[in-house]
Amino acid sequence: MKARVLFMFAAIALSGSSQPIPVGATHHQRARMLDQNTRKLECTLRLDREVYLAGEAATAHVTLSNPAPELLEVYDPLSNGGLNLLRLATERELQEPGITAGPYRYISPHPNKGWSGRFVWSDEMAAELKTVWFKPGEKRMLEIRSFDPLPRTPDMMWPSGSSVPTHSGEYQMWFSYCTDARVGFRVIQPVFESFAKVRLNESLRLYDSMARRVVERPRYLYALALRVEEAVVIVARQGDSMQESVVTDVPGKVFRENAISPFSPFQRVAELRGPVANLAIRQLDETTFEVVWTEAGGRLVRRSYQPRLSKSQLGPP
């Protein structure tokens, strides 16, 4: 399936530039105006699943709309918002130091506050604020995938780095651009069934700054068969790994949290009923791979996918 360049779409959809500060307006006035306008936007957040496998890649869908009858200049969502991850805390954890919100505790000790935590202290800083315009009734959508590279906005981060958590439990996601953009989800531990790997045809060439030369590192991709209740889920690692990993867990046992990390983030390739055998992953060309397995009755199944591959860096930056 052809990969969608979601962040490029988002950047185009939200493109805009700040207008000069009106004559006589102070940075306090401009910041206040942007705060008021941004609060007028309606915002919703949803995830592509309600229940994730531990370590599974995720996509957040954000919808922003202007219900006001006037044109609004607001803070740019890509530069002034971020995703925060919270986990349902135990009674003991709620008594310990840490940032909490109701029964949930922030995973990061420094949660993203978005534009509401920004302090504008000069006219020069106000002039450099990134903003966009929303027409009356206009609606825009963002898709933030946990395994995509982010635009040059350090505040905009997927909170767990590259996937949903590898620990089971109840979680909540909050998009800090909007106070009410929150959604809950659950992470479960699957049962490990089988494992496959492939070494890529081309190694990764990296510049070693200490040795001052280019070195080569082998790259691997992985596929797993995981059981969730009566279903078997075939997953494949979303990106390549420069470390060769092995599974130490026993088939038929719960896939331990610390054993999942080397294979995360992964995406679902197929969901089926019944056992699978002869799981394998193969490279078709430079960018396309296929996961192969045999279903009950001897039926051979092939599913292609395009992971995100690392790029060689052949010289000093």
Where are the domains positioned within the chain?
A: 6-188, 191-305
pTM of the model: 0.82
Please enumerate in sequence order all residues whose Cβ is within 8 A of that of 168, keeping only pairs 6 or more positions apart, or say none.
Answer: 54, 187, 188, 189, 257
Residue that has been written with the tokens 């105006």 in this structure? 33
CA angle 176, 181, 182 (to 5 degrees): 100
Residue 51: CB atoms within 10 Å: 10
Pairing state between β 51-53 and 182-188: parallel
Residue that has been written with the tokens 């995720």 in this structure? 58
Please identify, in words, the CATH class of the domain defined by 6-188: mainly beta
Per-residue pLDDT of the chain (317 residues; tens, 9 = 90+): 433 333 333 433 343 334 444 544 577 888 888 999 999 999 999 999 999 999 999 999 999 999 999 999 999 988 888 888 899 988 888 888 777 888 998 887 778 888 877 778 887 887 788 899 999 999 999 888 876 654 444 444 556 445 678 889 999 999 989 888 899 999 999 999 999 999 999 999 988 888 889 999 999 999 999 999 999 999 999 989 988 998 888 999 999 988 998 898 899 999 999 899 999 999 999 889 999 999 988 999 999 999 989 888 887 76
